[in-house]
Amino acid sequence: MPHLTTHVLDAASGTPAAGIEIALTTASGSAIADGVTDDDGRAGLGPDALVPGDYTLRFETREHFAARGVEAFYPFVTVTFTVTDDRHYHVPILLSPFAYSTYRGS
């Protein structure tokens, strides 16, 4: 399992958000990894371990909603978080056309 995983749930439809492109960068913008959510809305990104520091996940949400004919306010969502140790990090988002939320998962 990668050091970092995510899960995107389309809260408006109650279904996993498959096919969302995701980029993992340092907070200063240096690229680390990218991926796409699977049929269950999940993705693993990055190396086996991330060094302590600040990182950003960018979720390309525009295409997800456009493919469904749904008007959406956020063309992408960014989540910046801090890695402090070698624990597994899970950073999910709950997504709707006009809102999103995130939390530190397990």
**Chain segment 13-63, per-residue pLDDT in tens:** 999 999 999 999 998 999 999 999 999 999 999 888 899 999 999 999 999
Give the pLDDT confidence score for residue 37 in this predicted structure.
Answer: 98
The number of CA neighbours under 13 Å toward the Cβ of 85 is 2
CA 50 to chain centre: 16
b vs e for 29-38, b when ≥16 Cβ sit within 10 Å of the residue's Cβ?
Answer: eeeebebebe
Structure tokens given for 22 = 């995701």
Q: Which domains does the chain carry?
A: 4-102 (2.60.40.180)
| Amino acid symbol at 15 | T
Q: How confident is the model at residue 1 (pLDDT cuts 50, 70, 90)?
A: low
